[in-house]
Amino acid sequence: MPDLSAFAITKKWPARHPERLQLYSLPTPNGVKVSIALEETGLPYEVHRVAFDTNDQLSPEFLSLNPNNKIPAILDPNGPNGQPLALFESGAILVYLAAKTGQLMPTDDAARYETLQWLMFQMGGIGPMFGQLGFFHKFAGKDYEDKRPRDRYVAESRRLLQVLDGRLASRQWIMGDEYSIADIAVFPWVRNLAGFYGAGEIVGFDDFREVRRVLDAFVARPAVQRGLAIPPAP
């Protein structure tokens, strides 16, 4: 039985199944990337809810695993060379899970790097831009008289949707017929933009037929439906 007692995070969130991968998360667009990937691969895991309303992400225990105080983070008792591995940043975790399981990533070298390219497209573009638009459209930013910040993120979000729409033309998924971590990274954010953020109308979401088509296929996957609700509400 693996011993995780050396990791301070297990003091606040004890592992009932220390032989399983430990997930510390919330069902946000970044959080569900990892829960969806875990559900898709079938890798056994135990989930722990990091509650923002009680500032769990700022606790010393969580910071011992992720000093950047963001979810998701994982602790894998069966990491490389049989040693425990603590890892944060959702993109890095997706790459790790794909490598660990041999799933969700093409085996061809060129296609693998192309998949990573689209993963970085989400990490560097879609996530930050959609998130800023969400702030200025749904949250505190809506009270600002100066609408130039909001309009900047509307324009950039629309541009990113155009790039994605073009990529998906005549393709089932971002990488063609093969579903991958690129899709798992991108589509929770697309879903959030049109759903939780309520920004579908302002970005003209209905204009992007290919994006809407693939989003529908994504959310119809049973593993995605399960992953979107992990961790469950208390």
Encode the chain (234 residues) as per-residue pLDDT tens digits: 788 989 999 999 999 999 999 999 999 999 999 999 999 999 999 999 999 999 999 999 999 999 999 999 999 999 999 999 999 999 999 999 999 999 999 999 999 999 999 999 999 999 999 999 999 999 877 778 888 989 999 999 999 999 999 999 999 999 999 999 999 999 999 999 999 999 999 999 999 999 999 999 999 999 999 999 999 988
Tokens of 40: 């898709």
- Fold of the domain spanning 109-221: Glutathione S-transferase Yfyf (Class Pi); Chain A, domain 2 (1.20.1050)
**Element at 74 (helix H, strand E):** strand 73-76
Question: Which pairing describes strands 85-88 and 45-49: parallel, antiparallel, or unpaired?
Answer: unpaired
For 87, other C-beta atoms within 10 Å of its C-beta total: 19
Name the segment(s) of the chain with CATH classification 1.20.1050.10: 109-221
Nearest to 227 by CA among 167, 183, 165: 183
- Fold of the domain spanning 9-103: Glutaredoxin (3.40.30)
Per DSSP, the three-state class of 48 is strand
Strand arrangement of the beta sheet that strand 45-49 belongs to: 45-49, 21-25, 73-76, 85-88
For 22, other C-beta atoms within 10 Å of its C-beta total: 26
pLDDT value for 229:
97
pLDDT value for 24:
98
Four-CA torsion 139, 141, 145, 149, nearest 10 degrees: -140
Name the segment(s) of the chain with CATH classification 3.40.30.10: 9-103
- Please give the span between the terminal C-alpha atoms of the chain, in angstroms, as a whole number: 29
pLDDT value for 143:
79
For helices 127-138 and 29-41, the axis angle rounded to 10 degrees is 130
Q: Yes or no: say if 218 and 194 are a contact pair by the CB < 8 Å rule.
A: no
Tokens of 36: 């969806």
**Element at 23 (helix H, strand E):** strand 21-25
Q: Yes or no: say if 178 and 105 are a contact pair by the CB < 8 Å rule.
A: no
What Rg do the C-alpha atoms of the chain give, in angstroms? 18
pLDDT value for 55:
93
Q: Yes or no: say if 187 and 218 are a contact pair by the CB < 8 Å rule.
A: yes
Position 51: which residue type? A
CA 35-36-39 angle, to 5 degrees, is 85
